[in-house]
Structures are given as C-alpha cells and as structure tokens.
Amino acid sequence: MSQSSILLQQLIQGDRKALARAITIVENDVDGCTEILFSLPRKNTVPVIGITGPPGAGKSTLINALVRSYSESGKQVAVVAVDPTSPFNYGSLLGDRLRMSEHFTNPNVFIRSLATRGSLGGLSEKIIEITDVIRAAGFDLIIVETVGVGQSEVEIAGLADTTVVVVVPESGDEVQTLKSGIMEIADIFVVNKSDREGAEHLQQNLKKLMSHPKHENWTVPVIKCAATQNQGVDELIAKIAEHAQSGAMQTKKTYLLAEKAYRLIQQRRMKSIQKKALFEALAEQASDPQFNLYRFADQFNN
C-alpha cells in the first residue's frame, strides 16, 4: 500500500494529523495528490456551509459563535478560513485563524487557513479538492469562510450546500448594489451586529426583496444576529438545518457538481501557466512600442 493510501485511511479513521498532511499535499499539488483525490470515498454527504459577505460584516465572529454552539452539542466541525494573498509577495496574513483561537484546543473542531493565491472569487484555488478531503474525515459539517471581497464572492455558491450571506446595518443604503451581485447566491441572509441602528429597517427591506421562493419549498429567511452576544445564533442553526432538509438542497446538487467539474477542468488547463512567468514575460515585452496585451495573452491559448 502506498504512503498516500495509508494517509487517506488514517484521515478517514479520524487522524487529524493525517488530515492536515493530506490537505498540504493537495493544496500544493505534490506527489500523492492525484492518488488521494482519485481514492476519496463516494459518500460525501457532509454538508458544506458557506459564510460570505462584505469585509467588516463580522463573518469570523459569527463563525466563532456557530462553532461554539455546534461543538457544545457534540458535533465535530471543520472550518476552512480563506485569507487574501498579496499580489506582490504572494504571502498571506492568516488573520481569520487568529480570531478563532478559542477553538484551537477543542478536539471537536478542526481549523485550516488557506490563501487565495491569486484566485479572484473569494476562495482558494484548491478549495474544492480540500473540502472533499475534509469531508472524508468524518466531520458533521464544514464551514467555509470567504475572503470578503464583495461582489466576486459568488464562487461560494458553486461550492456550498447552504450559502449564508452576512450583512450589517450600515449596508442598508447598498441593498440595490447587493441585489445585482451576492444577493442572488443567498440561501440565508444574516443581518449581523443587529444591536446597531438600522438593523430592523435592513431586515424588512431584505425580506421584501426575498419574498418570492428561490427554489422549491424555500423562501430565503432574513435573520437578525448579534454574534458577539450570541443572539440569533440558535435561529441561524435551525434555518441551516431546515435548508438541508428542504427540496432546495436537492435542486442545487447537480448544479454544484457541474460548477465543481467546470472549475476542476479550468484549473487543470491553467496549470502550466504561472503568474511569475507571466510577470517576467511582461516585464521583457511590455516596453515594446508594438506590444499588444491581447496578442500576448493569445500565445498561451495554444
């Protein structure tokens, strides 16, 4: 039996160190990655909860409260926190992981931070593969937090079984802007920091906009939360469970698979194109008076 097969068996049996090693192998696409992915068990029924929304909406604080509640009820929870990568030095400040420090020693909680590595959709390039690896490790649910980059966060809808969009009362004047972007991806809306002025008004506006069923048997609920005070968290957990039992989840299943397959194929086709190499080629050619960006990009299509 190969080392990758042994590692996979260990993580399926609940070995968290083996899980961490497998994630590192998959994230960096090194030897053993393909074998791990091709051998993943078919039964991937662990629900993935996507938490998204604009920066400053309190996503990490809300996740902290959710994890605390799930853990206290005996559930095993994995959290994947995606942090932005600098376009200059490709480094990442793993701030979300630091904000969840209270759960570091909890045996029911597994936290992993990922860098976007240039991905523009608020997620890591390898998020699909890593989420499926975590699914094989026997958790009751997985929570994925996106970077918080606004409208481009729609990618989470192609990964999560349930997408929770978090907004704050200050978003009240931006509802129409949200409507054209991330509003369409919400399965549940959370008005966080609801102890602030304008929370009730924003909740009512969102309820009006979400009054028509999004999928069969599912009208998007709008919940008020004050995560720092643990208010509204139980209601949110109940709605997440309710969504999992609704027909909306079944409607979404094939769509999710299609989106994942598309991204995996796209990723493989782009594998040979490295940003550093693009930068070096551009640095050499861009000073040419005849330089044309479209001709430059077209040479990579062959």
Confidence of residue 87 (pLDDT cuts 50, 70, 90): very low
Mean pLDDT value across residues 6-20: 93
Please provide residue 190's backbone torsions phi and psi, each rounded to the nearest 5 degrees: -125, 120
For residue 15, pLDDT beyond 50: yes
- Residue of 223, 224, 220 whose CA lies nearest to 210: 220
CA 212 vs. chain centroid, Å, equals 26
When mean pLDDT is compared over 5-19, 33-47, 253-267, the highest value belongs to: 5-19
Structural domain count, the chain: 3
Mean pLDDT value across residues 190-211: 88
Q: What CA–CA distance (Å, rounded) separates 97 from 112?
A: 7
What is the average pLDDT score of the chain? Answer: 81
Q: Is residue 55 located within the same domain as residue 136?
A: yes
Q: Is residue 31 located within the same domain as residue 178?
A: no
Q: What CA–CA distance (Å, rounded) separates 49 from 74?
A: 18
Q: Is residue 96 located within the same domain as residue 164?
A: yes
- Residue of 140, 159, 77 whose CA lies nearest to 111: 77
Confidence of residue 86 (pLDDT cuts 50, 70, 90): very low
Q: Is residue 5 located within the same domain as residue 57?
A: no
- Domain ranges, residue 293: 273-298
Q: Is residue 145 located within the same domain as residue 285?
A: no
Q: Is residue 163 located within the same domain as residue 215?
A: yes
Q: What CA–CA distance (Å, rounded) separates 132 from 136?
A: 6
Name the pTM for this structure.
Answer: 0.81
Q: Is residue 56 located within the same domain as residue 168?
A: yes
CB-CB contact of 60 with 100 (8 Å): yes
Q: Percent of the chain scored above 90 by pLDDT?
A: 32
Full 3-state SS string of 190-234: EECCCCCCCHHHHHHHHHHHCCCCCECCECCCEEECEHHHCECHH
Q: Is residue 116 located within the same domain as residue 260?
A: yes
Q: Provide the pLDDT for residue 174.
A: 55
- Residue of 209, 208, 207 whose CA lies nearest to 223: 207
Q: Percent of the chain scored above 70 by pLDDT?
A: 80
Q: Is residue 15 located within the same domain as residue 67?
A: no
Mean pLDDT value across residues 62-74: 94
Q: Is residue 133 located within the same domain as residue 72?
A: yes
Q: Is residue 135 located within the same domain as residue 20?
A: no
Which residues are CB-neighbours of 277 under 8 A, at least 6 positions away?
none
Q: Provide the pLDDT for residue 288.
A: 87
Mean pLDDT value across residues 256-280: 80
Using DSSP's 3-state secondary structure scheme, residue 170 falls into: helix
For residue 254, pLDDT beyond 70: yes
Q: Is residue 117 located within the same domain as residue 75?
A: yes
Q: Could you tell me the CATH number of the domain that includes residue 112?
A: 3.40.50.300
Q: Provide the pLDDT for residue 117.
A: 52
